[in-house]
Amino acid sequence: MTPLEEAINNATNFAVSLATSAVIIDLLVRGDQANLVARDRTNPMELRARALQEARQINQLLNAVAIDRSERGITC
């Protein structure tokens, strides 16, 4: 691999990492918001149930990302 190809590869990997980090941050924020709605007893039960379901789905996505990164040797 030439130095230019290596630089392009590194830049691409960096961009992908930034995009992944942005998605992770968005999922964390959405998960926190969903948990707040789910735990707020003043909200209707249907809304709380949907929020809890969303929080669980987000948690599953974050777990999948964590497993993938762990397999690639990427840790926080």
pLDDT digits (tens, 9 = 90+) for 25-63: 999 999 999 999 999 999 999 999 999 999 999 999 999
Is the pLDDT at 7 greater than 70? The verdict is yes
Under 8 Å between Cβ of 9 and 1: yes
For residues 50 and 29, give the distance between their C-alpha atoms in angstroms, rounded to a whole number: 16
Model pTM score = 0.80
pLDDT at 73 over 90: no
pLDDT at 4: 96
Assess contact for 37 and 47: CB atoms under 8 A.
yes
pLDDT range class, residue 76, cuts 50, 70, 90? low
